[in-house]
Amino acid sequence: MDVDFPHVLIVLLVLGALALWIGAFVSIGASKVRGGEKAIWVLVVLLFPFVGSIAWLLIGRRTDGGADVPRL
């Protein structure tokens, strides 16, 4: 079986984006953000998976009620 580098790179990028998307949902679920705002974030991440996930991780978690959230 012959595997090309571009195919491996595409698979890794897709898996990374999927992990980011799932991580955003887990983070939203575990956050202390109130119900209505949480629902809006879930919709944003559903409608715009890549951009919505990054927006949540950069902006949304900051509105987490002041909880100490480790940042990378």
pLDDT digit string, tens, across residues 10-68: 999 999 999 999 999 999 999 888 888 999 999 999 999 999 999 998 998 766 455 55
The model's pTM is: 0.74
CB 56, CB 49: distance < 8 Å: no
Angle at 51 between CA 12 and CA 44, to 5 degrees: 125
* Helix locations, 1-72, DSSP H: 5-30, 35-47, 49-58
Task: Supply 27's token pair.
Answer: 């983070």
